[in-house]
Amino acid sequence: EVDLAVHSLKDVPTEIPAGLELCAVLERADPRDALLSSGARLTALPAGAIVGTTSLRRRALLGALRPDLRLEDLRGNVDTRLRRLRQGRFDAVVIAMAGLLRLGRSSEVTEALDPLSFVPAPGQGAIALECRTDDRAVRRATEVLDHRETARAVGAERALLAALGGGCNVPLGAHAVTDGEQVALVGFVASADGRTLVRGESRGEEPQAVGRALAAELLARGAAPLLGR
């Protein structure tokens, strides 16, 4: 019924249905997570401060970095989440930086969290285009939108996700950057409370190989039980 679909890449499964493909990945916006509070950074939030997020990944990372915080579910669009923060129902909230940038609300960010320690979701900040595999006209038309560096970075992140077999029910993150032909990837798998967190890094020239290599390392170091294997 449509010729082209536009997705937030972090929400796209690693297995694409037969007959469909990702035909372009746009240049990625800021992939980091953002903390918004009354002014305190993550390390300065008082013990027992209430932080809102529903993401299992963010909850695990917050639990690992600040086990003294109270984590509570926070749902709704960006306006709803920030309104609840202003109303004092939360001391801080964590939201994707890319969404705030696209809404012109980045000035409200208290702290952009370091992606090497507060690792984003695979594909976070990237927009992907999907079309039918046999639709040559759409594939040709979207080629100009494909950003090579972003495609290589998210290719490594999604290869890690695919190799681990993780999904929305497991706290995990992956963040890759390119340096010339090299791709550097960091990733983790954690328990829901963040008390157990297996983290690793990988580097190489072929994005999918980098992702698979890091997946193998994480599994060898104890990630398998966390993934239910």
- The residues assigned a catalytic role are 11
Judged on CB neighbours under 10 Å (0-12, 13-18, 19+), 101 is middle
Helix (H) or strand (E) holding 211: helix 207-218
Q: Which amino acid is at 227?
A: L
- Kindly report the CA angle at 62 between 56 and 65, in degrees rounded to 5? 140
Q: How far is CA 174 from CA 134, 142, 171, 218, in A?
A: 31, 26, 11, 12
CA distance 73 to 37: 16
Task: Give residue 126's Cα distance to chain centre.
Answer: 9
Sign of the Cα torsion 187, 56, 96, 48 reads negative
In this structure, are strands 197-204 and 182-190 parallel, antiparallel, or unpaired? Answer: antiparallel
Residue 143: how many CA atoms within 13 Å on its side-chain side?
A: 6
> Would you tell me how many other CB atoms lie within 10 Å of the CB of residue 186?
22
